[in-house]
Structures are given as structure tokens and as C-alpha cells.
Amino acid sequence: MDPGSDNRQGPTMIERRFLSGNQAIARGAWEAGVRFATGYPGTPSTEILETIAGMDGVDAHWASNEKVAFEEAMGYAIAGGRTLVTMKHVGLNVASDAFMVFPYCGTNGGFVVVSADDPGMHSSQNEQDNRYLARMARVPILEPADPQECHDLIVAAFDISETFGTPVMLRTTTRTAHCKGTVTLGERRSPPMVPSTLRAERFSVPIYRHRLRPGLEDRIQRLAAFGMTASFNRIDKPRHPVGVIASGISRAYAREILSDADFFDLAMTHPLPLATLIAFCAAHDTVYVFEEGDPFIEEQIRACGVANLVGKDRLGVMGEYSPERLAAVVTGGAAFETSFAMDAPAPPRPPMFCVGCGHRTVFDVLGQLRVTVAGDIGCYTMGALPPYEAEHTTFCMGASIGTAVGLVRAGVKRTVAVIGDSTFIHSGIPSLIDAVYTRTPVTVLILDNATTGMTGQQSHPGTGTALDGNTAPAVDIEALVQATGVRHAVVVDTWDRAAVRRAILAALAHDAPAVVIIRGPCQLLPEMRSRDIQPLTVVEDLCTGCNACYRIACPAITPGPNGLPAIDPALCVDCTVCQQFCHFDAIVTREAMMDGEQRFAPPDTRSST
């Protein structure tokens, strides 16, 4: 069953469902007749592809990275089929080489790229506003405010794309992607493949760039004219002194806070309908411009000489907007306040490796060895946090090995790169080749947990499974590493701390690039959850309270009623790592404890004192 589906109203009635923005985008794309959908996981975009994968008539899969996804999508679209490609904001950086050149030739079949931005950086490394990338590429942008608009605007995006022969960006943010609301659905349309001949004069951009270049400017002018009358840019007739120009989720907040004001609902934020916007501003005393991120809309209006605007001067460019933040600007003070003062602040609950996570041993060993660690993007980024604090740099996906090469060449000895399996395939391979090519003695740890863990366990080309759940050919990571020319490569079990330590030491001693593949599936994978688990327990008579087991920061181990560490049987997944830290053999399976009550009886010396 589709998430949030509601078929109780019967087939003849209008069908409505309670959907997230991402689910609504998938559904809207399906209704628009999308045939091919691809992308690379990244919060807050991931659920779009996961939802569309179950729909009829769509060829959907995860690509190795965003650039590959974008290029596959280009190929499908110029062959004439409607195509969707999804990624988080920083994913578009990876795909931008293709993104910047595709508009020169334009598309045949409708082509929509979803860029999911993350104001507030809930789950991202930066806060970039991708509308600038679209403007740079001369690509139109649609920005939905709620799930219904996610649905409606993606349908419109496909139509605009085919009408103007342009790729279109649908820009969401964390809130629009994950907010749920009621969506009225439509039927699936099946537009035919757009007939196409692949002529070099159109699709071989470098050779014919001078001929194609004017078309780019001409098209964006025509799109601007279209935006002046497009029905999804709704404009109130002036009847109030205050006007609001708002995009995305800010529109939803503003609608509630300034419910009497006149609204210019901007759904198409590039190219802007500037003449209409200027007229709107002229008809009002004060105009609020509410847009999350950079002053993309505001600066363009100001550049036309409009001055009666309130926007980034009061709201700033950083972080997510909220009703509180907008209200404070409108009232000139704090509009929403708490009635209840807290005695003491609530202590934080920082994220940590899951119970049984295989990354624990690695960061414990790295911390012990006091090496310099160039990290990467994935769950293992949490190795930078206490109690490990054993990761020193993290920039962007695939950066670990390149950074480590630079560090080593600058004389930083004992440098280790740490990269996950999904990230290695995404963008780690070229930099490993470079380490070999430049004879740089880096130690590379590939943490192979058989999934893309951080974004919620998506398959990738190394997992042997596909987006639809079926099996797929799996990359042989060992063979791939060998083929790059790495001469020292070993595989170890991630839950064997001593083996992990030995392998890392041996790799560090090697005078050329060395790879350790540290393997053990993510505990959240279905096959790991459904296995027979023997929870561990602390034998109180043997435990001395030395607290060594706390060193691994396992959420299942917390102080028990007697002050000694206790293991929550409902959480423990018997990864045995805590056992390896106990100096007194006080951690055993519950079964072993029942069987061996005698064996664990306290020695005489202790009972007699």
C-alpha cells in the first residue's frame, strides 16, 4: 500500500491522501507521465525515489552519484521520455558540470531536477541556496509551499520543460519535503515519447557552443514573459497597505501571521516576473519579502529601484525561518513567548552510533592510536564527537582520501582516511587512484556496512540489491582496490576490535597506499534485525564498576539501579564489543548466565571480606 493512501472514498470520488512533500512529488511526477527516475540519496530528497520505485510504468534506480544520475537523466530526456532526477542541494554541486551545460541544447522529453535545500542544516554540511545555481545555468525554478503544491508544481514543471525545451528545477527545502498534508490526486497521463534526432549541431555543445549560446538567453526571456501570466503565481488585488512577497514554506508561515495582508504568492522564482512585482510593490506602503536562504528574490527587486521592502535586513540570511521569526519582524518584538520558564535547561541528547554499530571499534582504535584522521560524510562522521573525537576533518562526499593525500604530502605523518562504502563508490575511487599514482603512503579505511547508512539504508552498486528490492550485480570492492594498484589491502571484521587494531597498524607501517576494508552490516538492515539475537548482560558479582564499558558510548549501556552499568535487553543486539572492553569477563549472554550461575559465583576471597 502507498504511504498514507486512503481509498475508502471509493473510485468515483476525488481521491485525497495525506502525503509528505516528497511523496506528493513522486505522485505528481507519476501523474505527469514520468518514465525514468534516478538520483542519489540525500536528506531531504531521498523519499521521492523510494516512493516512485513502487509505481507502475516508471524505470527507477539509484545511481552511483548525482553526476551520473544527472547524465543518465539527460540521455533519457533527449531520447524523448519524461525524466525526474532527485538530489539534495550539495548533490547538485556534484552534478553541476552537466547541469551547467545541458540548458544550452535543452531537452526533448520533460526534464525536472529536484534540488532539496536544507536551511538550518538539519542534516547537511552547508546551507547553500541552489537558486543561484539555477540562475547561473539559465534554468527556471518552481518552489512549492506545501504538499499539494509539491504535487501540482511538479506536474506544471514537466509541462514547462517540454513546452520550452528546458530543464526545470523544483526547489524544495527540508520543511516542504517532510511536511505532511492532504493532497488531491489526479490521474496518470501518458504523454508519448517526444520524437528526437540526435544531431551534433544541437547536442555537441563544445563544438557548437557559439551557435547555442544565444538560444539560452532567448529562452530565459520567453520564460520570464510566461511567468508574468502563469496561474501558479497568484497575486491579490491591492486592498491593504501591507503586501507580502513570499516563496516556499515562508508563504505558509506568512499566510498565518499576516492573514489580512495582500499576497504575491511566488511559485516560480526564476525568472522573476519583475514588472508585476514592481507594480505590486508600488501599490503597497510596505512589502515584506519572505524567502529562506539568500536574498535571491529581494536583491533582484531592489535592483529595479524598489525601496519599500522589509526582508533580509531584518531576517538575516542564516538558518531556517519559523513562524516565531517572521512574527518578530512583523511586530518588532517577540510575538510568541513561552509562559513557562524552565528551572534548568534540558540536557542535550546528542546523536550517537546506534546500538551494535560497527563504526564503534574503528573510532576507538583510531583514538587510541592518536593518528590524524581525514574523515568523510556518513554515519562515521559522528566519530568526530565525544567520546571518540577521532576524526579531524570532514568536508564533503569523497573528500577523505584527497585530503589525506594533501596532508601526507605536507608532512603530516600517520594520516588515515576513513570513507564509507557508499561514499567510496560515489566519489572515493578517483582519489584512491591518485594516491597510488602519486605514491602517497596514506592508510585508507573503507567502512563497508553494506548500505548507505546515514540517509536511511539505501542500496548502492556495492550492496547486491537495487532500489526495487531485487538483487543486482555487486561491485567487488577488494578487486576494485587491487585494480587501482594498491598492493596492501586486507579485509577485517568490524566487531573484532583486536583485529581492526592489528590491521590498521599494519597498514600504517606500509610505505605505500594501503587499504583496510572493515566489514560488518549496518544493524538497521532488515537481515540484521531479523537474526536471532542473544542479548548480553552484566554479571553483578564480577563487575567492579570500573566503567570501561561506558567508553564505547553504547545506548544500551546505562547506569543500573545499583549504580553499576546495566545492559538493556530490549536494545542489545549482541555485537559483543562491550565484552571486548570488560577486564573482568563480567559481560556474558543472558543465556550463559542462566546456565552458569555457578561459574559466575563470586570467588571466596571477595565473599569473605
Residues 273-292 that bind another protein (CB under 8 A): 285-286
- With 0-12 / 13-18 / 19 or more C-beta atoms within 10 angstroms meaning exposed / middle / buried, residue 386 is exposed
Q: Does 81 bind ligand TPP (CB under 6 A)?
A: no
Residue 167, preceding peptide bond in cis (omega within 30° of 0) = no
The nearest distance, CB 63 to ligand TPP, in angstroms, is 11
What residue 208 binds from ligand TPP, another protein, none (CB within 5 to 8 A, per partner kind)?
none
40 binds ligand TPP (CB under 6 A): yes
Instruction: Tell me how far apart the alpha carbons of residues 38 and 40 are, in angstroms, rounded to a whole number.
Output: 7
Q: For the window 234-253, what string marks contact with another protein as x by the rule CB under 8 A?
A: ------xxx------x-xxx
Looking at residues 288 to 327 of the shown chain, list those that interact with another protein (rule: CB under 8 A).
Answer: 322-324, 327
CB of 429 to another protein, least distance (A): 26
Q: What is the DSSP letter of 267?
A: S
The order of strands in the sheet holding 141-142 is 59-62, 36-39, 83-88, 111-117, 168-173, 141-142, 268-270
Q: Report if residue 454 touches ligand TPP, rule: CB under 6 A.
A: yes
Residues 262 and 242: beta-carbon distance below 8 Å: yes
Site for another protein in 145-184 (CB under 8 A): 145-146, 174-175, 178-182
- Return the residue of 119, 293, 453, 513 that touches ligand TPP, per CB under 6 A: 453
Query: Residues with Cβ < 8 Å from 255, sequence gap 6 or more?
Result: 263
Residue 330 interacting with another protein (CB under 8 A): yes
- Closest CB 40 distance from ligand TPP, rounded Å: 6
Q: Is 451 in the site for ligand TPP (CB under 6 A)?
A: yes
Q: Which residue lies nearer to ligand TPP by CB, 31 or 376?
A: 376
Our finding on whether 572 is near another protein (CB under 8 A) is: no
**Residue 377 near which of another protein, ligand TPP, none (CB within 5-8 Å, type-dependent):** ligand TPP
DSSP secondary-structure letter at 163? H
Q: Does 335 bind another protein (CB under 8 A)?
A: yes
> 391: phi > 0 → left, psi -120 to 50 → alpha, else beta; which?
beta
Evaluate whether 49 touches 23 at the Cβ level (below 8 Å).
Answer: no
Query: Per rule CB under 8 A, is residue 547 in the interface with another protein?
Result: yes
98 counts as binding ligand TPP under rule CB under 6 A: no
Smallest separation, CB 343 to another protein (Å): 6
Binding to another protein (CB under 8 A) within 442-471 occurs at 456
554 contacts which partner out of ligand TPP, another protein, none, CB within 5 to 8 A by kind? Answer: another protein
Site for another protein contains 555 (CB under 8 A): yes
605 binds another protein (CB under 8 A): no
Cis peptide bond N-terminal to 441, omega within 30: no
Please say whether the beta carbons of 311 and 286 come within 8 A. Answer: no
Q: In whole angstroms, what is the distance from residue 279 CA to residue 474 CA?
A: 58
Closest C-alpha among 141, 132, 290 to residue 220? 141
30 CB-near residues (< 8 Å, 6+ apart): 52, 55, 57, 58, 188
Q: Does 42 bind ligand TPP (CB under 6 A)?
A: yes
Instruction: Using the rule CB under 8 A, give the single segment among 78-86, 208-216, 329-337, 528-536 that binds another protein.
Output: 329-337
- Whole-angstrom distance, CA of residue 459 vs CA of residue 450: 8
Kindly report the backbone phi and psi dihedral angles of residue 445, in degrees, each rounded to the nearest multiple of 5, phi listed first: -105, 120
Measure the CA–CA gap between 601 and 581, rounded to whole angstroms: 21
Q: How far is the CB of 399 from ligand TPP (least distance, A)?
A: 10
Residue 420 binds to ligand TPP (criterion: CB under 6 A): yes
Does 309 bind ligand TPP (CB under 6 A)? Our answer is: no
Write out the residues near ligand TPP by the rule CB under 6 A: 40-42, 88, 90-91, 94, 377-380, 397, 420-423, 447, 449, 451-455
